[in-house]
Amino acid sequence: MTPQLIGSLGTPELLIIFAAIILIFGASKLPELARGSGRALRIFKAETKGLRDDDDTTPDELESREQRNDRDA
């Protein structure tokens, strides 16, 4: 989405969108959806950080890390 599209949304539009979300999912499901989204984002962040760390390590370090993980499991 472009910043112009987001910038053109005013308070009435946001309230209509929020009301539609409440009608679709129900007020009792919103906290559960937010919690699940937060968990998914945390997992995604951890995995991408792990991938970056793997790019910075040598093959010997990766092998020793995998051996430690196998012992712990």
Query: Comparing C-alpha atoms, which of 17, 22, 44, 43 is closest to residue 33?
Result: 22
pTM of the model: 0.45
Distance CA 69, CA 39 (A): 23
- pLDDT tens for the chain, 73 residues long, are 455 556 687 889 989 998 998 888 888 888 888 899 999 999 999 998 888 776 666 666 667 777 777 776 5
Number of domains in the chain: 1
pLDDT for 1: 46
- Name the residue range of residue 25's domain: 3-72
Extract the runs of DSSP E, i.e. beta strands, from the chain.
Answer: none
Q: Is 8 exposed, middle or buried (0-12, 13-18, 19+ CB in 10 A)?
A: exposed
